[in-house]
């Protein structure tokens, strides 16, 4: 699943650690989500989207391969 977390962080000029603190997870979790090594829970995805003030569908984009699994 693609995501635009890195882009949104750049717009706000915040680090992974700062985002992690805001959504109550570790920096490593944010790193893993950004790099598509970890698919976040629905709750975490919603928290991140709400933090950035954007729709969850604009932050996380399903790829065709995601629909085939």
The DSSP element (H or E) to which 2 belongs, if any, is: strand 2-3
The pLDDT of residue 64: 77
Task: Establish if 16 belongs to a structural domain.
Answer: yes
**Per DSSP, what are the bridge partners of residue 61?**
2
- 57 has a pLDDT exceeding 90: yes
Residue 5 contacts residue 65 (beta carbons within 8 Å): no
Residue 46: which domain range?
A: 2-64
Residue at 69 is within a domain: no
Check if the beta carbon of residue 23 is closer than 8 Å to that of residue 51: yes
At 68 the pLDDT is 77
Number of domains in the chain: 1
What is the pTM for the complete model shown? Answer: 0.89
């Amino acid at each position: 699943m693609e995501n635009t977390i890195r882009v949104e962080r750049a717009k706000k000029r915040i680090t992974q650690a700062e985002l992690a603190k805001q959504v109550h997870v570790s920096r490593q979790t944010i790193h893993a989500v950004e790099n598509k090594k970890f698919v976040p829970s629905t709750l975490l995805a919603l928290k991140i989207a709400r933090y950035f003030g954007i729709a969850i569908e604009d932050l996380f984009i399903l790829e065709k391969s995601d629909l085939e699994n």
